Amino acid sequence: MQDAHAVATPMEVNFLQALQNAKGSPPLDTINENPSAYRALTGKLQYLICMTRPDIAHAVNKLASANQAPNAVAWQGLKRLIRYLKSCPSDGLILPKKEIDSLRPVAYCDSNWSSPDTEGKSTTGYVIFINGVPVSWKSGKQDSVSRSTTEAEYIAASDTANELVWLNNLLENARLIQSHTHDDGHEPAKIASTILCDNQGAIKMANADGITKAARHIYIRYHILRDLIDKEEITLSYIPTSENKADGLTKPLPKDPFTAFRNGLNMG
């Protein structure tokens, strides 16, 4: 790989379909490759994404799903990811020198409905920022099959809300943020944290009164999102897909959209 050419993205746009089509093909040990080396490398990359590289979270997650029986297609995908890392080996999150505007987290969430490699299950992606810097992120397969894009986005927002509640509790216990306003002479009001989502249907579902027909079959545990909105602890707001900083955590992107996604993560 030392002489390999660097590439601008960690995964080809059509790779997931190719990986799905290759299921059942001969494993690496039958074509003179070492599957243990594949698993060791994805393990190292998973450590990397937990620390400083959210830009490769989606690619590593998908490649690690082939750990049990990696084949030639998965191996080529892993090599491409290494070629991408070769283009930016020293990159990571940038902590800018600027005044702290607020330590209250702001979250972006997204989903990719029924990804071709997940047997009908969708992919959740979220990234949570504090003062413009990512502090928590995820790219992973949802536990249940969603019947629509709206449902997949609703579940992604619920997963994001769970992480946001934990992070808010941590910051409140450290007295870095407040859960209520404390203006003299006024009734204390809750301060809600924001989740930004690019699906209007999911936002409407989350803010509806009661369980609607479209939402009644969704597992109860995902309706924590409604409860948090009712308690004014969280607001779910719309953002265009082009501005959604979680977009690259749910699907492989072409060069220009991926570059925009990467820049939105404050990396360099």
**Separation between Cα atoms, residue 30 and residue 50, nearest integer Å:** 32
Give the contacts of 207 (CB within 8 A, at least 6 positions apart): 229, 236
Residue 117: its pLDDT value, please? 65
Taking only the tens place, the pLDDT of each residue in 37-58 is 999 999 999 999 998 999 999 9
Rounded to 5 degrees, φ, ψ at 240 are -60, 150
List C-alpha distances in Å: 244 to 158, 196, 237, 262: 17, 8, 11, 11
List C-alpha distances in Å: 260 to 3, 202, 255: 28, 24, 9
Taking only the tens place, the pLDDT of each residue in 191-225 is 889 999 999 999 998 888 755 555 555 555 667 88
Q: Reply yes or no on whether the pLDDT at 21 is more than 80.
A: yes
* 3-state secondary structure (DSSP) of residue 60: helix
189-217 residues labelled b (16+ CB within 10 A) or e (exposed):
eeebbebbbbbeebbebbeeeeeeebbee
Instruction: List the structure tokens of 134.
Output: 């990512």
| Backbone CA torsion sign across 149, 57, 242, 229 | positive
Q: Reply yes or no on whether the pLDDT at 247 is more than 90.
A: yes
Give the contacts of 13 (CB within 8 A, at least 6 positions apart): 252, 253, 254
CATH number, span 106-264 = 3.30.420.10
- Alpha helices per DSSP H over 4-114: 15-21, 35-51, 57-64, 72-87
Beta bridge partners of 27: 71
Spans of all domains in the chain: 15-87, 106-264
Q: Which amino acid is at 265?
A: L
Q: Reply yes or no on whether the pLDDT at 118 is more than 70.
A: no
Do the beta carbons of residue 110 and residue 198 sit within 8 Å? yes
Q: Reply yes or no on whether the pLDDT at 150 is more than 70.
A: yes
Q: Reply yes or no on whether the pLDDT at 182 is more than 70.
A: no
